[in-house]
Structure 1
Amino acid sequence: MADILVVDDVAENLHMLQLILRQQGHTVLAAINAEIALSIIQRKPPELVITDIKMPGTSGIELCKLLKAEKHTSHIPVIFVSAHSDTDWIVEALHAGGNDYITKPFIPAEILARVDTQIKLLDAQKSAVKQQLSQVMNEMVIGVAHEINTPLGTAITAVSHCGDTVNKLVAALEAGRADTAMFTDKLRECDTSLALSQRNLNRVAKFVSMVKQIARVECPVSPTRVSLLEFAEKVQCAWSDKPVELHLVVPKDLVAVFDGGLLASVLDTLIANSLAHGRQQGTLQVTITLDIEEGKLSVRYQDNGLGLDGISEEDMLKPFVTTKRGNTGHVGLSASVAANLIVNALEGNYCVQNNEDGLLWQITLPVEPV
């Protein structure tokens, strides 16, 4: 059974559709015009909308276009109600994004059949999404196991070797066979083993931190009033002791409402990625430009590195795809984490370009009015 919103300016039509649908067990809400319908949808989006094509004020076609234009309502199927003679209107309605139509006078069996078809399509889509999510999770688990097991195994082996070396040194001391040269050699072996263990454990720590960043996508967003100048200063301060020159271009006195913590995470991830991948001779240089354009926050990130360095933009955004392997500590999640934070957590969009100056990210985020 589904939650269905019926929209019609004729009370008799509303009553009839409600009666037919409720007898089938559906939960039905009613609206006498598009404005009321939009208010209901904003509070709680239904699973299906049935709307008359012709209505005073905002028509059913215009209502459909509004729903399809918004990310959180574009998935809702729309069934139009029309007269037999409204052929041209029906064609326009389907072009506007409508999924089906029913004609007046109402035939209950036809209405229920068309509604049932849309519900089955919705169920199929949900099933497909679940299967896709399951596949992604399986791939993620395999990737996590591989990326953690390899450095952990190396670290354990290095620590074990260090323990064996210490035991041999103790045995030599107890037997009176230890001298300065042996002490020096064994301690150097221990130092090498511990350094190898530390490098690999640091790699594991970085990976765990990156996985935590992925989890932040599902956390509630906390928008606050943010001064872009103060935000830029905090980002610059966070990287002041690292081998990167940050140039932040921010107009004075600009304030916006958004989740500054999440955006800072995005920028931190991009900077770390540039250090791992794009750095050439000398110090990495990154220019970040912040501005408000047409009511949206515009973020331009440009580094002077090697760009994509042999991989495509599509591959760069895939988890576990990286040009850096071995002991670099880079596991190929940075770009995909940044992209997910931008799109899913901050509800923005981005474009990545590989140009002669390095890698360019152009990010646009919705912001609330101050």
Structure 2
Amino acid sequence: MFDILIVDDVAENLQMLQLILKCPRFRIRAATSGHTALQLIENQLPDLIITDIKMPNMSGVDLCRLLKADKRTNHIPLMFVSAYTDTDNIVEALEVGGVDYISKPFRPAEINARVNTQIKLLEANALQVKRQLSDALNQMVVGVAHEINTPLGTGITAASHLFGVIAELTKEFENKTLSQNLLADLLIQSNESIELCERSLSRVAEFVNLLKTISKAEAPAQPGMCDLVEVFKQLISQYHFDETGVEIKLMSEHSVLDVTLDANLLQLVMGNIIEDSINHGLVDKKGPIEIILRANEQEIEIHYVDNGIGLIDITIEDLLKPFVTSRRGNSGHVGLSTPVAANIISGALQGGYTVRSTERGIEWIIKIPMMRLR
């Protein structure tokens, strides 16, 4: 069932349109003003809005502008009702985002034809979205299966080998034929198998944790006052040079940058970007990673360069797709870090970014607006 909202300050027009559009497929709601319509839309989003152009206090054009400026409602198609000769207003209505218009006096056949056209478009769009979701789900399932099965398979192989080593050790011990050299060799093989099992299971655990972060891209931000420089110092402290072999240099115009944003989400974003560089872009070339911070009253800017190998055989568009590795042949890269970071920047943090592959490796320029405290 499709939800249609009709907005008109003339009760007779509302009644007439409701009668014309009465159909089991449609749920019709009515509002006598733009303000009332906004309240109804807030309670439940309609599939289609039909609004008169000329109304007191808030015209149909004004209503359309408000809805198109709101991310939650800008996808809803709006049809306008106007006198047949009101050409200027019809043009303005279409320019602000209207998809069609209904002329007065009402002609039922024309109204039904125009409304049904919009409904068919909605059905086609819904089908397309469903197909895209299905394709994305299939890609996700294949990607998840691959990223989990690969380390699990390695771990199972290592465990099986360890089982064989223990069996041989037990047999030689029971037969009293266990030499010192054989014992040393079997212990080395055991340690190697255990280490391989541990690395494989750790990869699975890291991948599962990364999957959990995907939902945070859609979660609302929780902004607060913080020192941007300190936020990055805390993040960088997690990456020890003696473990990663990668130096991370932090540069800022000022020693303290007081900003208003969600520090946890920002650390999640930059952590994913840094992890991608360390695990992937800096395999053959060891940085240093350089991060430059700037801020003004409106936004913060982060300039990130990893001084790595950049991209090989793929494009930036591929880099932003889930489960695409940023260098062919590196099976250790799970292919989700960059898409997660990009989604959080443009989603919860309401910012923007550019990313490119240069002679200095992967380069990000991230701009995030200051957020209002809740």
| TM-score after normalising by structure 2 | 0.85
Aligned-residue offset at 1:128: 1.9
- Residue by residue over 1:163-186, the C-alpha shift from the partner in whole angstroms, topping out at 9 and shown as x without a partner, is 211211221122121111111111
Maintained 8 Å contact 2:155/2:200: yes
Asked if the contact 1:232–1:250 (Cα under 8 Å) also holds between the matched residues in 2, the reply is no
2:110 corresponds to:
110
8 Å CA contact 1:50–1:79 kept in 2: the answer is yes
Compute the displacement of 1:247 (Å): 0.6
One-letter identity of the residue aligned with 1:263: L
**Matches of 2:31 and 2:80, distance apart in 1:** 15
Residue aligning to 1:134: 134
- Match in the other structure for 1:168: 168
Structure 1: distance between partners of 2:237 and 2:42 = 41
> C-alpha distance in 1, partners of 2:295/2:194?
47
How far residue 353 of structure 1 moved from its aligned partner, in angstroms, is 2.3
Q: Tell me which residue corresponds to 1:2.
A: 2
Instruction: Tell me the residue number matched to 2:258.
Output: 254
Name the count of aligned residue pairs.
366
Cα distance in 2, alignment partners of residues 297 and 6 from structure 1: 43
CA shift, 1:234, in A, is: 2.7
Distance 2:109 2:174 in 1: 95
After superposition, residues 160-309 of structure 1 pair within 5 angstroms as 160-218=160-218, 220-229=219-228, 230-240=230-240, 242=244, 243-249=246-252, 252=256, 254-256=258-260, 258-279=261-282, 281-289=285-293, 291-292=295-296, 294=298, 296-309=299-312
Listed as ranges, the gaps of 5+ residues in structure 2 are none
Q: CA deviation at 1:156?
A: 0.9
- 1:89, 1:278 → 2: CA distance? 56
Structure 2 CA distance for aligned equivalents of residues 286 and 358 of structure 1: 11
Amino acid at match of 1:231: V
- Output the CA distance in 2 between the equivalents of 1:27 and 1:298: 47
Deviations 1:91-146 (A, max 9, x none): 44333322111011123343333223322322332222122112211121112112
Structure 1 residue identity aligned to 2:224? R
- Tell me, in whole angstroms, the C-alpha distance in 1 between the residues paired with 2:253 and 2:131: 44
Q: Aligned partners of 2:262 and 2:167: how far apart in 1?
A: 54
Secondary structure (helix, strand or coil) at the match of 2:72 reads coil
Structure 2 SS opposite 1:301: strand
Map of 1:337 onto structure 2: 340
The answer to whether structure 1 residue 360 and structure 2 residue 352 are counterparts is: no
Return the letter of the residue paired with 2:310: G
Q: Provide the residue aligned with 1:68 in structure 2.
A: 68
Query: C-alpha displacement at 1:61, in angstroms?
Result: 3.3
Q: Residues of 1 paired with 2:362 and 2:198: CA distance?
A: 31
- Greater shift, 45-54 or 88-97, is seen at 88-97
Q: What are the superposed Cα offsets for residues 68-98 of structure 1, whole Å, 9 maximum, x if unpaired?
A: 3432222100101111112343344333322
Relative to structure 2, which stretch is displaced further, 178-187 or 14-23? 14-23
Partner amino acid, structure 1, of 2:215: A
Deviations 1:272-309 (A, max 9, x none): 01112322544532304253553x45444333222224
Matching residue's letter, 2:29:
V
Q: TM (normalized to structure 1)? A: 0.86
Residues 228 and 49 (structure 1 numbering): CA distance in 2 closer, same or farther, change over 3 Å?
A: farther
Alpha-carbon displacement from aligned partner over 1:178-234 (angstroms, at most 9, x marks no partner): 11111111112222222332332222222222222223335x325131313343343
Comparing 237-246 and 352-361, the one that deviates more: 237-246
Amino acid at match of 1:29: A
**Which range moves more in the overlay, 71-80 or 54-63?**
54-63
CA distance in 1, matches of 2:274, 2:238: 11
Q: Aligned in 2, Cα 1:132/1:250: closer, same or farther, shift over 3 Å?
A: farther
Asked whether the 8 Å contact 2:311–2:327 carries over to 1, the reply is no
Conserved 8 A contact 1:3-1:26: yes
User: What are the superposed Cα offsets for residues 39-67 of structure 1, whole Å, 9 maximum, x if unpaired?
Assistant: 54345432222122334565433433443
For residues 234 and 64 of structure 1, the distance between their equivalents in structure 2, rounded to whole angstroms, comes to 46
Which residue identity does 1:147 align to in structure 2? E
Cα 1:52–1:311 shift into 2, 3 Å: same
The letter for the 1-side match of 2:295 is D
Share of identical aligned residues, percent?
47
Equivalent position SS for 2:4: strand
Instruction: State how far apart, in whole Å, the 2-side matches of 1:182 and 1:174 are.
Output: 14
CA deviation after TM superposition for structure 1 residue 366, in Å: 5.0
Mapped partners of 2:109, 2:253: distance in 1: 62
C-alpha distance 29-307 of structure 1, shift in aligned 2 (>3 A): farther
User: In the alignment, what sits opposite 1:54?
Assistant: 54
* 1:348/1:365 contact within 8 Å kept: yes
**Please, what is the CA RMSD of the aligned residues?**
2.9
1:78-89 alignment runs, 5 A limit? 78-89=78-89
* Matched AA of 1:27: I
1:28 counterpart residue number? 29
- Contact 1:200 1:329 survives alignment (8 Å): no
